[in-house]
């Protein structure tokens, strides 16, 4: 079981980004770490720290349920994209382990999907 993030354009040939549930959790933990906080401390992730305590444009992605939840708007995608690209570029300069490379690749796949959502003015969907 896993999840797929894709543009809500109705085009089944559009690119997507997919993860196992554990892979997506690891990816989001690493994104949160890059933003300077620990995801497991946050409300909704077994912690009690409110999201209002952190400031990140990645919040709509980080605080999104794996199953269900609202789609992310094109405006959310536009806010997330530059920061995601900055983080994945930094990861590419820093790391050399296999998991690190997987996170870079998945981050770049997600950036492609976000860019398409922005260009087509469609939401980012979670399945």
pLDDT per position as a tens digit, 81-122 = 999 999 999 999 886 666 689 999 999 999 999 999 999 999
pLDDT band at 67 (very low <50, low <70, confident <90, very high): confident
Contact predicate 75/87, CB 8 Å: no
Give the residue from 44, 114, 31, 107 showing the smallest Cα distance to 74.
114
Candidates 72, 74, 41; CA nearest to 59 is 72
- pTM confidence score: 0.92
* pLDDT, position 66: 78
Mean pLDDT of 8-35: 94
Taking each helix axis from N to C end, the angle separating 98-120 and 74-94, rounded to the nearest 10 degrees, works out to 150
Predicted local confidence at residue 96, as pLDDT? 65
Inter-residue contact 85 to 111 (CB < 8 Å): yes
Structure tokens at 6: 């894709």
Mean pLDDT of the chain: 93
Cα dist from 28 to 9, 13, 51, 89, 122, whole Å: 25, 26, 14, 16, 23
């Amino acid at each position: 079981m896993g999840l797929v993030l894709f543009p809500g354009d109705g085009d089944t040939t559009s690119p997507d980004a997919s993860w196992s549930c554990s892979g997506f959790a690891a990816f989001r933990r690493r994104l949160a770490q890059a933003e300077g906080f620990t995801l497991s401390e946050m409300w909704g992730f077994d912690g009690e720290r409110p999201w209002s305590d952190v400031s990140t444009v990645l919040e709509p992605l980080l605080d999104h349920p794996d199953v269900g939840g609202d789609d992310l708007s094109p405006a959310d995608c536009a806010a997330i994209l530059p920061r995601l690209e900055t983080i994945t570029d930094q990861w590419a300069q820093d790391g050399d382990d296999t998991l690190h490379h997987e996170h870079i690749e998945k981050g770049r796949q997600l950036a492609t999907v976000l860019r398409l959502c922005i260009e087509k003015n469609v939401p980012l969907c979670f399945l």
